[in-house]
Amino acid sequence: MTMSTENHPRARYSLVFVLVILGAFVFVMVKSLANGFGAFGVSFYERKTLIGVFNQLRYRMGDHVFPQVVVGRNGWLDFNSDGNLDSYQNANLLEERVKVIHRQLVALNQELKARGITLIVVVAPNKETIYPNKVPTQIVKLQEKSRLDVLQGMFDESDAPILLDLRPALMQGRTERQIYYQTDTHWNAYGAYIAYREIMNRVSQDYPDLRPLALADFEFTETAPQTMDIARLLGGDFLQEPAVMIQPNFASSAYLYRIPPSSNVSISSSKLGQGRTLLVYHDSFGDTLNEFLQYSFEDVVYIRGAISDDGFASAAWVDAIEPDVIVIEIVERNMVYLNNLLAKLLRGKNTSGLQP
């Protein structure tokens, strides 16, 4: 005897499941097409959530390659855009462009030195430069020399102090504690402190009254876990880590704020700065660095994003502020774009005649 499956509970459950899936599909399509077929790709209903769920499933299954993200060793995330991993691999040194940057830096330093201004250029190393042991083994260096090595090799002893190499200090610092985030491109507050300390040690060569504050002068605390910048590219909130925050352990009236709040210009004032003024041109790595610099100068003006083509008319800031020190900070993967800012600071002067 055979039993009909037409009314069997399992058959009914299967039918309900299919209907639910079809209903959900129709609901999503109706929602997604509300703005027409032309906007379907960007208005797909809960697109970000679905991408996050899909990427989380891929991540849990051991997938290591995503758009803009590569999963490295021990769960470290590497940024795979803006030429970041090409920079790590030293895939294209662009030596001619680096020579132009060197000529510009020498010319700018000569001009500023004549005005009594100290110039310090800081290249914030890519995370992969400081933590190569976290990069997937399949991603190998194509040559040992980096663009930063090429630029540094062009300076003679008299001009060498212009470019401050943070790599040795950061490599030492990583043996003591974690100094970059696991799921973010940036250094954390410990890494930023090392950069601050090295900058102030360089400043003290010209201004002995200015010395770096000690690590013990700050209290380092962790926030609740949050989604950092590389993890955010995966969608969802399934990879999080705490941010490191700082507070001074000394009485200070220093404060840092934007003017106006929506602009890329910030200022700070402190009574600890011995009357010295600092002008900082920086990218996102400078955000944490500035939290330390604000305590070491009486007045500081911070210009964020000035390295891009549409940045501010930068030379005007030098004339208006007349700083004692200028710090230019740029991340290693973007250092070949330094010429954009330098051209503005040189007011478009032709530096092609200067020897590299």
pLDDT digits (tens, 9 = 90+) for 152-180: 999 988 787 899 999 999 999 999 999 99
pLDDT bucket at 258, cuts 50 / 70 / 90: confident
Q: State residue 35's pLDDT score.
A: 59
Structure tokens at 323: 């700083």
**pLDDT tens-place string over residues 181-238:** 999 999 999 999 999 999 999 999 999 999 999 999 999 999 999 999 999 999 889 9
Q: State residue 262's pLDDT score.
A: 75
Angle made by CA atoms 52, 56, 59, in degrees to the nearest 5? 140
Mean pLDDT on 303-318: 78
The HSE-up count of residue 121 (CA atoms within 13 Å, CB side) is: 24
In DSSP terms, 121 is beta-bridged to 163, 328
Q: What sign results for the dihedral spanned by CA atoms 295, 300, 306, 311?
A: positive
Structure tokens at 141: 């260096």
Q: Of residues 36 and 272, which shows the higher confidence score?
A: 272
Alpha carbon distances (Å) from 105 to 11, 282, 328: 76, 16, 11
Q: What is the radius of gyration, based on Cα positions, of the chain?
A: 26
Structure tokens at 216: 């013990």
**Mean residue pLDDT across the chain:** 87
In DSSP terms, 218 is beta-bridged to 248
Structure tokens at 151: 């630029």
Q: State residue 353's pLDDT score.
A: 46
What is the C-alpha to C-alpha distance for residues 290 and 256, in angstroms, rounded to an integer? 9
Give exposure, 117-142, as e/b (b: 16+ Cβ within 10 Å): bbbbbbbbbbbbbbbeebbeeeeeee
Q: State residue 355's pLDDT score.
A: 42
Mean pLDDT on 292-317: 84
Whole-structure pTM value:
0.85
pLDDT bucket at 26, cuts 50 / 70 / 90: low
Q: State residue 43's pLDDT score.
A: 56
Per the CB < 8 A criterion, the answer to whether 90 and 101 are in contact is: no
Phi and psi at 170, nearest 5°, equal -70, -35
- Strand segments, DSSP code E, in 10-117 are 65-66, 69-71, 77-79
3-state secondary structure 262-300: CCCEEEEECCCCCCCEEEEEECCCHHHHHHHHCCCCCEE
Q: State residue 308's pLDDT score.
A: 73
What is the C-alpha to C-alpha distance for residues 323 and 109, in angstroms, rounded to an integer? 14
Structure tokens at 237: 């909130």
Q: State residue 232's pLDDT score.
A: 94
Does pLDDT of 23 surpass 80? no
Domain boundaries, the chain: 15-45, 77-345
Mean pLDDT on 298-327: 86
